[in-house]
Amino acid sequence: MEVRRIEPCCAPITDEALSAEQSQELARAFKVLSDPVRLRLLSLATAAPTGEIRAADLVAPLGRSQPTVSHHLSVLADAGLLLRDQRGREAWFRPVQERLAVLRAALGE
Amino acid sequence: MEVRRIEPCCAPITDEALSAEQSQELARAFKVLSDPVRLRLLSLATAAPTGEIRAADLVAPLGRSQPTVSHHLSVLADAGLLLRDQRGREAWFRPVQERLAVLRAALGE
DNA sequence: ACCAGATATAGACAGGCGTCGATATGTCGG
DNA sequence: CCGACATATCGACGCCTGTCTATATCTGGT
């Protein structure tokens, strides 16, 4: 999907007009959030009691195949929204609040 | 694109896990923001001195055809992010801050 | 009435993306 | 070592979406 790490790129879109490059970068970021599976993964990671989730535990609740879940986790990790922690053969993920904050800030206020 | 009016649908994704339906609705909303042309239209509307923009004035700056611009304006209007004001043969648009606030709230805090 | 301007609609095309099954890679336990 | 488990990668398929040209619709002025 051509995912890039989400970085602060511009003033809130309520403040001033975006350049072509800025709008492209922001659009890429929002595209990461534009899939229901990824949003659920993100919310499940945040809602987890321990603050982290294991990839294998997500396949059943999401009703998607293991490769599909793995794919979406990679997209979220590439964007910096999830931090991957490999422990032996298991992959654990925890959310990175600062990345979400970047997008929230881009929406104004 | 199956665009629906953006409405408050759920607690911030930082607070609790999303249901399948909630994640689908949120994903639809973010999909509207996942295109650079639409983000620019939105920011141009907000940055306009008078607080509104005319469709015809957006074709040249965006470098897209008139039908393409018209299409994206419709998507934004269907989502409720822009309010359409038809004046004779001209179409004027003004941003609706509350819709953006809904998405900002969904990102937490 | 007519013409020019502004916008919307229709249809077509290409590229992108989510999804899957099959398979590879890597890891732990016995 | 070897088998079971966890995850990643590959290749393919189908749908969705952004884009265009061409055309229709509507409005305002002359």
Q: How many CB atoms lie within 10 A of CB B29?
A: 25
Task: Work out the minimum CA distance from B21 to partner chain A, whole angstroms.
Answer: 9
The pLDDT of residue B109 is 79
Q: Of all nucleotides in the shown strands, which has a C1' nearest the CA of B67?
A: C8
The pLDDT of residue B59 is 98
The token pair at A47 is 């809602």
The verdict on residue A2 lying in a domain is no
Q: What is the dihedral of CA A73, A74, A79, A80, to 10 degrees?
A: 70
Q: Of all nucleotides in the shown strands, which has a C1' nearest the CA of A91?
A: D7
* Spatial distance between the Cα atoms of B76 and A57, rounded to a whole number of angstroms: 37
Q: How many CB atoms lie within 10 A of CB B94?
A: 16
Average pLDDT, rounded, for chain A: 96
* Spatial distance between the Cα atoms of A70 and B59, rounded to a whole number of angstroms: 40
Q: Domain range holding B100?
A: 36-106
Distance B52 CA to D29 C1' (A): 25
The verdict on residue B50 lying in a domain is yes
Which CATH number characterizes residue B76's domain?
1.10.10.10
The pLDDT of residue A106 is 97
Closest C-alpha among B53, B37, B38 to residue B99: B38
Give the total number of structural domains in chain B.
1
Max Cα separation, chain A?
47
* Spatial distance between the Cα atoms of B83 and B96, rounded to a whole number of angstroms: 7
The token pair at B30 is 């973010």
Q: What is the residue-level pLDDT of chain B in tens, covering all 109 positions?
A: 889 999 999 999 999 999 999 999 999 999 999 999 999 999 999 999 999 999 999 999 999 999 999 999 999 999 999 999 999 999 999 999 999 999 999 999 7
The verdict on residue A13 lying in a domain is no
The verdict on residue A6 lying in a domain is no
Q: Is the pLDDT of residue A85 over 90?
A: yes
The verdict on residue B94 lying in a domain is yes
For residue A104, list chain B residues with Cβ-Cβ distance below 8 A.
104, 107-109
B82 exposure class (CB count in 10 Å sphere: 0-12, 13-18, 19+): buried
The verdict on residue A91 lying in a domain is yes
- DSSP for chain A, written as a single string: ---------SS-TTTSPPPHHHHHHHHHHHHHTSSHHHHHHHHHHHH-TTS-EEGGGGHHHHTS-HHHHHHHHHHHHHHTSEEEEEETTEEEEEE-HHHHHHHHHHT--
Q: Is the pLDDT of residue A62 over 90?
A: yes
Pure H helices in chain B = 20-32, 36-47, 59-62, 66-78, 97-106
The verdict on residue B87 lying in a domain is yes
The token pair at B64 is 């897209």
* SS3 of residue B12 by DSSP: coil
The pLDDT of residue B71 is 98
The verdict on residue A32 lying in a domain is yes
The arithmetic mean of pLDDT across residues A63-74, rounded, is 98
Residues A11-57: tens digit of each pLDDT: 999 999 999 999 999 999 999 999 999 999 999 999 999 999 999 99
